[in-house]
Chain A
């Protein structure tokens, strides 16, 4: 049975790592649409998949944020990725299975997965 004391101990043991996390804001930003349309289309597992994949790979300067409805409900779940030096990329109808690939190819290697972008996804 887990207790909050355990969490405190865990925090102390990871303190060093926490201190190393950059706050300089030059990393990639992942924005997931979390309005009714996004949630109903399956945005929550997508958001969680991004959190876990980024955590797993220790991508300290990548932030994941949530936004409301951008008016393209038929394309939800929509994920926008802002990376320094690259244009904003909008992914449409994202599934949790795509997340590892998007993180590896786009965020780590700087090559957006064009097959999943909004321009290439059928309505």
Chain B
């Protein structure tokens, strides 16, 4: 994976498989602390302690078509190579939280990448699941945030199809604009 947004897309697929109805994607970039935190919170079926240990193992997967499961190990490794941290907390029946902490300035930290593509992929592929994407950028005195909530989008659309060209492109530009505003209008 070349971008963190691809890891996010992949990790959220686990939440979807776990039957989540709402997935929260939290990205906090804190330049003052030299930290980038990505948190993925779902209300899926959760895991017991035994399973949490096993999902970190590349040779564990729930799928039947192949014998390896690399999603979580790759994401964890992306965080650890920057000198960061990775945790999973989960409770059976209520959900899972995955937290990856990266050193923001590390040369090994992958770029966040195109979150608009990740959100559109999630949204168009899972009409019955809600996604809340929250992105905060803190640097010096600046402390800005961008929030993309598919529940608000669905409300504004009133049941209309996201795949209508004008609407699809509008959402893409809306996310791109929201994120680039965090960086002062440049990407």
Contacts and interface: CB of A to CB of B under 8 A. Distances in A.
Interface in B145-187: 152-153, 156-158, 160-161, 163-171, 173-174, 177-178, 181
A82 to B, nearest CB: 17
B105 interface: no
Given A39-B1, A45-B117, A7 B153 contact: yes
Interface residues of B, number: 39
A2 interface: yes
Interface string B108-138: 0000000001101100110000000000000
Interface string A62-92: 0011101111010000000000000000000
A69 B66 contact: yes
A55 B164 contact: yes
Interface string B22-59: 00000000000000000000000000000000000000
B71 interface: yes
A66 B9 CA distance: 12
A47 B121 contact: yes
Interface in A18-50: 18, 21, 34-37, 39-40, 44-45, 47-48
B166 A34 contact: no
Given A48-B117, A51-B168, A52-B168, A11 B66 contact: no
Given A35-B63, A51-B120, 12 more contacts: A1-B177, A2-B174, A7-B153, A7-B167, A8-B156, A11-B160, A18-B164, A36-B13, A40-B6, A44-B9, A55-B168, A69-B66
